[in-house]
């Protein structure tokens, strides 16, 4: 008999909503010099979250593993075609069309973080254009992703957003995952919060170090003059 079962573990859900937060925050602060530090902080958070998710895709719980949502073009076509029928194909984990969006989001996410890092470290002016371009491409996929979530939710009569919050879907008891891995969720949250506290301090310290070192050299020069 079908009942509410656990499908998404806690680290996967936390990853998702922290990713949404850091992506939105990075986007809103991207244009202004004034918020550059916040942009970079959220950008690194975003990059770290993606790195975590790539790892969790190999060692995580059943539906979080990439192997559980590895579909080909024919699966995607068949799924989309089934949406037009009265009985659309249902998947407990990610559906084939959603999976394509997820791989695109993760791939573009990696590129956004790498090009952002390269821009920040002045590896070349053209990288800034590339960084902005990939971030905008990712925004386009996000829009399609959200539309897909809404369409799928309506077609299947299930609230996918609520499932990404409480981790539960309707299914056979033996199909659910056994553990939510709350400890890993707590660790992930602590890592993000810890980074938000430690990174600005480390950056300020490095900046004062550089400033006092250059003041020192200045003084040295003056002395010789």
Alpha helices by DSSP H, 121-181: 126-156, 160-166
> Which string of x and - marks every residue 115-134 that binds ligand HEM (by CB under 6 A)?
-xx-xx-------x--xx--
Q: Give the Cα separation of 39 and 220 in Å (integer).
A: 36
User: Is residue 5 within 8 Å of 169, Cβ to Cβ?
Assistant: yes
Q: Give the Cα separation of 204 and 201 in Å (integer).
A: 5
**Residue 114: in which H helix or E strand, if any?**
helix 96-120
From the CB of 1, what's the least distance to ligand HEM, in Å?
Answer: 22
Residues contacting ligand HEM: total by CB under 6 A = 43
Question: Among 6, 10, 18, 44, which residue sits at the site for ligand HEM (rule: CB under 6 A)?
Answer: 44
User: Is residue 128 within 8 Å of 119, Cβ to Cβ?
Assistant: yes
Q: Give the Cα separation of 185 and 165 in Å (integer).
A: 13
> Which string of x and - marks every residue 3-42 that binds ligand HEM (by CB under 6 A)?
---------x--xx--xx--xx-xx--xx-------xx--
Give contact residues for ligand HEM (rule: CB under 6 A).
12, 15-16, 19-20, 23-24, 26-27, 30-31, 39-40, 43-44, 46-47, 53, 64, 94-95, 98, 102, 105-106, 112-113, 116-117, 119-120, 128, 131-132, 135, 142, 145-146, 149, 160-161, 163-164
């Amino acid at each position: 008999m079908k009942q509410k079962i656990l499908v998404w573990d806690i680290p996967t859900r936390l990853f998702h909503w922290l990713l949404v937060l850091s992506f939105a925050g990075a986007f809103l602060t991207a244009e202004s010099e004034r918020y550059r530090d916040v942009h970079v902080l959220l950008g690194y958070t975003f990059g770290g979250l993606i790195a975590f998710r790539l790892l969790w895709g190999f060692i995580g719980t059943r539906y979080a593993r990439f192997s559980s949502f590895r579909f080909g073009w024919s699966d995607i076509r068949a799924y989309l075609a089934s949406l037009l029928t009265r009985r659309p194909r249902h998947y407990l984990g990610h559906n084939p069309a959603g999976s394509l969006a997820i791989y695109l989001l993760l791939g573009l996410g990696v590129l956004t973080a790498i090009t952002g890092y390269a821009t920040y470290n002045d590896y070349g002016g053209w990288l800034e254009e590339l960084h902005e371009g990939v971030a905008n491409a990712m925004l386009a996929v996000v829009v399609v992703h959200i539309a897909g979530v809404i369409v799928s939710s309506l077609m299947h009569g299930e609230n996918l957003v609520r499932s990404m919050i409480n981790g539960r879907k309707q299914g056979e008891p033996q199909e659910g995952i056994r553990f939510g891995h709350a400890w890993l969720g707590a660790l992930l949250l602590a890592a993000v919060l810890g980074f938000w506290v430690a990174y600005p301090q480390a950056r300020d310290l490095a900046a004062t170090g550089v400033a006092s070192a250059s003041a020192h050299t200045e003084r040295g020069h003056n002395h010789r003059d």
